[in-house]
Amino acid sequence: MRNMDFAFAVSDGMGGAKAGEYASRTAVEKITKLLPRSFQQSAIGLTTDFEDILAELFDQIHKALVYHGTSYAECSGMETTLSLCWFTPGWMYFGHIGDSRIYYLPARGGGIKQLSHDDTHVGWLFRNGKINEREARSHPRRNVLQKALGGSNQFVDPQVGAVAYEPGDIFLLCTDGLVEGLCDSQLVEPLRGVSEFSSQGSPAQRLVAASVANDGRDNTTALVIEVK
């Protein structure tokens, strides 16, 4: 990761089984076509504002989903969340919309931090201290999105940011299903592989297994990146 660019993303499609799957696939295809151009610019020393790059990427995905949603009945109303991490030498740039999540666990301690903001009213209440984590996790409207790509959303305004990373730092991308079964403090031990989790597969497998065991939902995705 020190000498080249990598991108990782989690997308959670909505609008029916087939439409949701197609929405997620469209997002991934756009990423694989558009981001490599920025990789090439980085390799030859051309600088481009990462905020502009990610904003354009999310806008292109949104336009593609809206086009297909209005052109084909089976795709009507399809939407997707998207959480994207773009690693360049020394820096991780991220873009996010929806209620999938990006977490950062630094090697030097300090605890796990949610980098992305949940695009829900409940997420806003939690970030502004109106409710606590327990109340947010049990709120009846916790899964009602205010932002997503596609559907009837007119504007795309993704959250973007950057984190300087060091060897040993861990990043987690996950769908909302994972945190239905695990609160933030319960993510650390499976990620580190400590205690009873030390022999239970990869960090992502440990997280999914622990979440499903607690919540009973199996429609969850976790992607773990550890910087070497």
CATH, residue 171:
3.60.40.10
| Residue-level pLDDT at 46 | 47
> In this structure, is residue 196 part of a structural domain?
yes
Domain count, the chain: 1
* 210, part of any domain: yes
Domain that holds residue 55: 6-226
71 is a domain residue: yes
Mind listing the pLDDT tens digit for each residue in 126-138? 999 999 998 998 8
- Residue ranges in the chain whose pLDDT is less than 50: 1, 43-44, 46
Domain assignment present for residue 179? The answer is yes
| pLDDT of amino acid 17 | 65
pLDDT of residue 8: 93
Q: What is the pLDDT of residue 117?
A: 96
pTM of the model: 0.90
**Does 1 reside within a domain?**
no
DSSP letter string over the chain?
A: --SS-EEEEEEEEESSHHHHHHHHHHHHHHHHHHHHHHHHHHHTT----HHHHHHHHHHHHHHHHHHHHHH-GGGTT-EEEEEEEEEETTEEEEEEESS-EEEEE-TT-S--EE-SPP-BHHHHHHHTTSS-HHHHHH-TTTT-BS--EETT------EEEEEE--TT-EEEEE-HHHHHH--GGGSHHHHHT-GGGTTSSSHHHHHHHHHHHHH------EEEEE--
Task: For residue 36, tell me if it sits in a domain.
Answer: yes
